[in-house]
């Protein structure tokens, strides 16, 4: 399939079943013509005629009757994504996008309840929400991801309603390196753990595991008891799941003591946190929940997040004189080539010694 011009108008030409088809795109704009051609290409690859017709109905049929209610926007996004083959993303990505959309709708209901439809979300409203994300202390990278997900959703909603224009462009913040890598001091760690005991909700054990292993919140929240056999915690980190690399952490004294206080209620070690994470509330409610601990510790507004515990673990290991390769084994890898050089399970004693040393300096 390729585009060509007849006069000022773009045309598309393609072959199907040994026949050549030519069709006017009815536009002088090459970008619009290319999108039109891509959509036809998607439709002609559908396995049945009926499915191809459904794709073309969404893309080129009459606009939907009436506006798109915000409450229905997520389902319409999924419908369009499935129809044009844009739903080939991970379940984790879909879950996070759903959470982002839900959080935005919750904010609209609270702050601008007169906005009821996706068409009514204009650039000034989008900018106001971006400012709200910054005001609540989310890091620039997190805000960029949230705004990017909303932009992705609105781009597909544009295909379902002629009245919708994506309002989320050019709002992504510039990444600020100064926001990264903040670790807790030893005195702050003690305050956080004391506060966690006061707040409850298994926060003390969750924080202790993160502090001694460097695991991210999602990996701790979704831990199951079966992953703790033989005195070892075995985890395939969600962020690097595609590499299939499993990390193994010996259950050290501090972690064992914290786990002994946890009541076994389900397959999950921390059912409350697992439910919160599974429901896609990590983008908003998780940070508010950890903020409860920080506030009790007198550290709210200091720029700390749950991820600070991972930075603290890395800092403790470095301060204990643990070499970079062992630190990599403990903290995990994001680079394929580096990850493939190590078998975490074969270095348990080495890792145990490093973790114990970091915990006692």
What is the rounded distance in angstroms from the CA atom of residue 216 to the CA atom of residue 305? 11
Q: Is the pLDDT of residue 213 over 90?
A: no
Q: What is the mean pLDDT of the chain?
A: 77
Residues ≥6 apart with Cβ < 8 Å to 237: 215, 216, 219, 245, 247, 332
| Structure confidence at residue 195 as a pLDDT band (50, 70, 90) | very high
Dihedrals φ, ψ of 233, to 5°? -95, 120
Asked if 100 contacts 146 with a C-beta cutoff of 8 angstroms, the reply is: yes
CB neighbour burial string for 300-323, b if at least 16 within 10 angstroms, e if fewer = eeeebbbbbbbbbbbbbbeebebe
Name the residue among 283, 304, 284 with its Cα closest to residue 207: 304
Task: Please give the average per-residue pLDDT across 292-310, as a whole number.
Answer: 83
What is the rounded distance in angstroms from the CA atom of residue 322 to the CA atom of residue 337? 22
Which of residues 22 and 280 earns the better pLDDT score?
A: 22
Least trusted range by pLDDT, from 70-74, 87-91, 242-246: 242-246
Asked if 195 contacts 296 with a C-beta cutoff of 8 angstroms, the reply is: yes
| Structure confidence at residue 103 as a pLDDT band (50, 70, 90) | very high
Which of residues 269 and 8 earns the better pLDDT score?
A: 269
| pLDDT score of 340 | 37
- Cα separation values, 23 from 3, 30, 31, 73, Å: 10, 14, 16, 32
Which of residues 55 and 127 earns the better pLDDT score?
A: 127
In 214-323, which ranges are continuous DSSP H helix?
217-221, 253-259, 271-278, 287-296, 308-319
| pLDDT score of 62 | 41
Asked if 80 contacts 226 with a C-beta cutoff of 8 angstroms, the reply is: no
Least trusted range by pLDDT, from 140-149, 208-217, 334-343: 334-343
Predicted model pTM = 0.50
Q: Is the pLDDT of residue 181 over 90?
A: no
CATH fold for the domain made of 70-178: DNA polymerase; domain 1 (1.10.150)
| pLDDT score of 277 | 78
CATH fold for the domain made of 186-360: hpI Integrase; Chain A (1.10.443)
| pLDDT score of 101 | 94
Name the 3-class secondary structure at 203.
Answer: helix
Least trusted range by pLDDT, from 110-114, 217-221, 246-250, 271-275: 246-250
| pLDDT score of 315 | 79
- pLDDT tens for 198-212 read 988 899 999 999 988
Task: Please give the average per-residue pLDDT across 263-280, as a whole number.
Answer: 82
- pLDDT tens for 322-331 read 666 666 666 6
| pLDDT score of 34 | 76
What is the rounded distance in angstroms from the CA atom of residue 355 to the CA atom of residue 231? 14
Domain boundaries, the chain: 2-60, 70-178, 186-360
* Most trustworthy range by pLDDT among 108-122, 244-258, 267-281: 108-122
| pLDDT score of 120 | 92
């Amino acid at each position: 399939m390729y585009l060509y011009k007849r006069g000022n108008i773009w045309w598309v030409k393609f072959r199907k079943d040994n026949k050549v088809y030519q069709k006017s795109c009815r536009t002088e704009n090459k970008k619009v013509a290319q999108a039109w051609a891509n959509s036809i290409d998607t439709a002609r690859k559908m396995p049945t005629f009926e499915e191809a017709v459904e794709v073309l109905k969404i893309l080129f049929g009459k606009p939907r009757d009436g506006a798109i209610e915000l409450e229905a926007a997520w389902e319409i996004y999924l419908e369009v994504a499935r129809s044009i083959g844009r739903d080939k993303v991970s379940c984790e990505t879909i879950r996070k996008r759903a959470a982002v959309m839900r959080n935005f709708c919750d904010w609209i209901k609270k702050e601008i309840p007169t906005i009821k439809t996706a068409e009514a979300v204009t650039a000034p409203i989008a900018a106001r929400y971006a400012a709200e994300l910054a005001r609540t202390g989310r890091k620039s990278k997190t805000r960029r991801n949230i705004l990017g997900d909303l932009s992705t959703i609105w781009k597909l909603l544009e295909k379902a309603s002629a009245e919708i224009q994506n309002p989320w462009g050019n709002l992504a913040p510039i990444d600020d390196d100064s926001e990264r890598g903040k670790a807790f001091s030893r005195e702050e760690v003690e305050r956080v753990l004391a506060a966690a005991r006061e707040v409850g909700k298994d926060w003390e054990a969750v924080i202790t595991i993160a502090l001694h292993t460097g695991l991210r919140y999602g990996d701790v929240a979704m831990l199951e008891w079966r992953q703790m056999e033989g005195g070892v915690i075995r985890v395939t980190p969600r962020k690097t799941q595609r590499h299939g690399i499993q990390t193994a952490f010996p259950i050290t004294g501090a972690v064992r003591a914290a786990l002994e206080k946890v009541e076994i209620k389900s397959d999950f070690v921390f059912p409350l946190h697992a439910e919160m994470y599974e429901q896609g509330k990590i983008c908003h409610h998780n940070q508010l929940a950890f903020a409860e601990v920080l506030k009790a510790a007198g550290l709210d507004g200091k720029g700390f997040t749950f991820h600070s515990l991972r930075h603290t673990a890395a800092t403790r290991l470095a301060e204990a004189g643990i070499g970079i390769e062992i630190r990599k084994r403990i903290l995990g890898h994001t680079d394929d080539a580096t990850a493939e050089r190590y078998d975490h399970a074969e270095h348990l004693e080495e890792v145990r010694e490093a973790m114990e040393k970091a915990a006692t300096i």
